[in-house]
Amino acid sequence: MDGNSISFWKDCWLFDIPLNSILVGPLSRSDEDLQVADVFSCADFNSSLISYPLPDTILETIKANPISKIGLGNDSYSWKGSRDGSFSMKVAYLMAKGVNPNPVMNWNWIWKIHTLPKIQCFIWLLCYERLKTLDLLSRLGIVESNVCPMCLVAKETCDHLCRECPSSSFIWHTFFSQGTVGSSNSLFQWIKDNCLSKNMCPTIPIPWGTVFSFILWSIWLQRNNKLYSSNVFEPNYIISIIWDKVFEFYSASPLPSPKNTQKESRLVCWEKPPEGYCKLNTDGSAHGNPGLASAGGVIRDHMGRWIVGFACKIGYASCLRAELWGIREGLLLAYQRNIQNLIVGVDSFVATQLLSCCFSPHHPLYSLILDCREILSRIPRTRIQHVYREANQCADALTAVAHSLPVDFVSFDCSPPGLLLYYEADMRGTYRQIDPTIVHPSIALLQERFKQLERAKEMRQEKELLRMFPESRQINAAMPYVPCRSLFHPVLTLQSELPLQCTLKREASL
């Protein structure tokens, strides 16, 4: 935006409300006509035209507003409900319903549950309320009835299916004594608390989170059997199936133990650009997100020699805005120094994506992105590179320096004394270690996996024998499940009285 058509006091350009709503009393005639462009001189904030004292936080937020520095882009509307400023009917619908269209949801925990991938996907659907329950299908007009097929009483919602239905609560009550099921208010929190539980089942050494996920999955399978195959199984039988499945999964895939893991060290260093090229490294940070933000950067030649550096205070902004702000300042310096071949190293992946991919003209940071792209197009040869933070330490240190600057912008024609350590290390090509990641040694892991498969095969054979002699084992979920090796008696293995179709039927229910 250039701010020429936006009223400083009356338009919602800074927050969701206009700035005059925080004032008491009418505006003066001169303030009525004040435009946003009037308080920026060459994109730098000039507060002298504002006749009312504003809190420092608001002044810092105005200062960080990304007005185009090279006069590009006109004012445009940005849809506040979406992150990239584009209009979306879905977002409009959610906002009309009073639902936050951009809830802060962290789904990563689902993929860390120690269970089967298909169960992880099932739990994700459940938490996202996208499981194809009859309630959802009837709301979509696919089925007529939304009544639970298990109890034939209530609506089949996700919550009813998992917790409230009598057939589900029977299974849960059987397991209550064996874990911390709890009863959080929301279904999402309930699932999350149990899946992430660090407790072990008291009767068998298997984490409760794993058992819990298998129980949820089995409830869903049981419901599908009833609905689509009209198969009804005894709850005790379902419980025995759950134990079998959990035990088989855990035996074949135990939690990684410390002896099977090791930390992999990765080393990175600042890479010199090819001969004839210069390299710009930039960084931006905010104390809080958003918070008081700053940016810094340095341009060096192919030998690693310092050409120019900078540090600047931005105002109250997000980290992404600070990153883009730093890139724009660095590119302007490179352009002013008439650098023809430039590599730009940035440690923000999102910022590099915004500079190299398509983006909406309604994006809140449109002016900054457009400025960067324009300056890049004016430099004959450029390349944008995503770099590790450990290889961007000079820019990172300059960004930290900026927070304590007495002025808003400082350029450095040689390395500041506080930076010499990083600068000289980069010149020498010193490697730095990035955060170690835990990996499994591949050969040891393969050997262990082979043994696990062998054990799983052995257990499957045991279970087949147990199926042939169901009376030999009274199912009781309250008792620990221990594969009974004493059943491997030669006499027992020679006899099979269970009809074949019965065995198949039990397999199909899994």
- 151 near Zn ion (CB under 5 A): yes
For tokens 């419980």, the residue is 239
> In 3-state terms, what secondary structure has residue 229?
helix
60 versus 156: smaller Cβ distance to Zn ion: 156
Asked if residue 219 binds Zn ion (CB under 5 A), the reply is no
DSSP assignment letter at 413: S
Nearest to Zn ion of 148, 372 (CB atom): 148
Total binding residues toward Zn ion, as defined by CB under 5 A: 4
Of 148 and 221, the one with the shorter C-beta distance to Zn ion is 148
Of 278, 285, 340, nearest in space to 309 by CA:
278
For every residue of 95-125, DSSP letters joined together read: HHTT--SS-----GGGGGSSS-HHHHHHHHH
Q: How far is the CB of 170 from Zn ion (least distance, A)?
A: 11
User: What's the token pair of residue 319?
Assistant: 């980290």
Selected from 1, 113, 165, 317, the binder of Zn ion by CB under 5 A is 165
Token duo for residue 326: 């730093």
**Separation between Cα atoms, residue 292 and residue 390, nearest integer Å:** 23
Rank residues 133 and 399 by Cβ distance to Zn ion and give the closer one: 133
Q: How far is CA 400 from the centre of its chain?
A: 26
Point out which span in 84-92, 97-105, 160-168, 340-348 binds Zn ion (CB under 5 A): 160-168
Q: How far apart are the first and last CA of the chain?
A: 59
Q: What is the DSSP letter of 35?
A: B
Output 131 or 395, the one with its CB closest to Zn ion.
131
What are 185's two structure tokens?
A: 């208010």
Residues 31-70 that bind Zn ion (CB under 5 A): none
The stretch near Zn ion (CB under 5 A) out of 98-106, 141-149, 206-214, 307-315 is: 141-149
Closer residue to Zn ion in complex, CB, 148/397: 148
For the CB of residue 148, give the shortest distance to Zn ion in the complex, in Å.
3
| Exposed e or buried b per residue across 477-500, where buried means at least 16 C-beta atoms within 10 angstroms of its C-beta | beeebeeeeeeeeeeeeeeeeeee
Shortest Å distance, C-beta 510 to Zn ion: 22
Please, are residues 277 and 283 in contact by the beta-carbon 8 Å criterion? Answer: no
Q: Which of 27, 43, 126, 150 binds Zn ion (CB under 5 A)?
A: 150
Tell me which stretch binds Zn ion (CB under 5 A): 88-96, 165-173, 346-354, 454-462. Answer: 165-173
Which of positions 451-480 make contact with Zn ion (CB under 5 A)?
none
Could you tell me if 66 and 367 are in contact, meaning their C-beta atoms sit under 8 angstroms apart? yes
Residue 448: CB minimum distance to Zn ion, A: 43
Q: Stretches 144-152, 227-235, 273-281, 391-399: which one binds Zn ion (CB under 5 A)?
A: 144-152
* Interaction between residue 147 and Zn ion (CB under 5 A): no
Residue 286 C-beta: closest distance to Zn ion, Å: 50
148 belongs to the binding site for Zn ion (CB under 5 A)? yes
Q: How far is the CB of 145 from Zn ion (least distance, A)?
A: 13
Interface segment toward Zn ion; rule CB under 5 A; list 16-24, 85-93, 150-158, 213-221 = 150-158
Using CB atoms within 10 Å of the CB of residue 80, give its burial: 0 to 12 exposed, 13 to 18 middle, 19+ buried: middle
Q: What angle in degrees, to the nearest 10, is found between the helix axes of 319-336 and 393-402? A: 110
Q: For 420-432, give the DSSP string.
A: HHHHHHHHHT--E
- The span from the CA of 151 to the CA of 219, in Å, is 13
Q: Which is nearer to Zn ion, 148 or 311 (CB)?
A: 148
- In degrees, rounded to 5, the angle at the alpha carbon of residue 282 between the alpha carbons of residues 276 and 283 is 160
- Interaction mask 6-35, Zn ion, x per CB under 5 A: ------------------------------
Nearer Cβ to Zn ion (133/392): 133
- Return the range that interacts with Zn ion (CB under 5 A); candidates 147-155, 215-223, 465-473, 486-494: 147-155
- Least Å from the CB of residue 450 to Zn ion: 44
Only one of the segments 61-69, 77-85, 148-156, 270-278 lies at the binding site for Zn ion (rule: CB under 5 A); that segment is: 148-156
Q: Which is nearer to Zn ion, 80 or 155 (CB)?
A: 155
**Closest by alpha carbon to 345, among 365, 363, 326?**
326
Choose between 150 and 346: whose C-beta lies nearer to Zn ion. Answer: 150
In the complex, least distance from residue 166 CB atom to Zn ion, rounded to whole angstroms: 7
Helix (H, G, I), strand (E, B) or coil at 459: helix
From CA 437, how far away is CA 344, in angstroms rounded? 27
Q: Determine phi and psi for 84, rounding to 5 degrees.
A: -95, 10
Task: Look at the alpha carbons of 356, 357, 359, 363 in this order and tell me if their dihedral is positive or negative.
Answer: negative
- Locate 61 and state its tokens: 């937020």
CB of 240 to Zn ion, least distance (A): 22
Q: How far is the CB of 225 from Zn ion (least distance, A)?
A: 14
Strand partners, 412: 309
- CA 219 – CA 148 distance, rounded (Å): 13
Minimum Å gap between C-beta 133 and Zn ion is 10
Q: Specify the residue, 150 or 280, whose C-beta has the smaller distance to Zn ion.
A: 150
Residue 187 is a binding residue for Zn ion (CB under 5 A): no
148 vs 292, which CB is nearer to Zn ion? 148
Give the footprint of Zn ion on this chain (CB under 5 A): 148, 150-151, 165
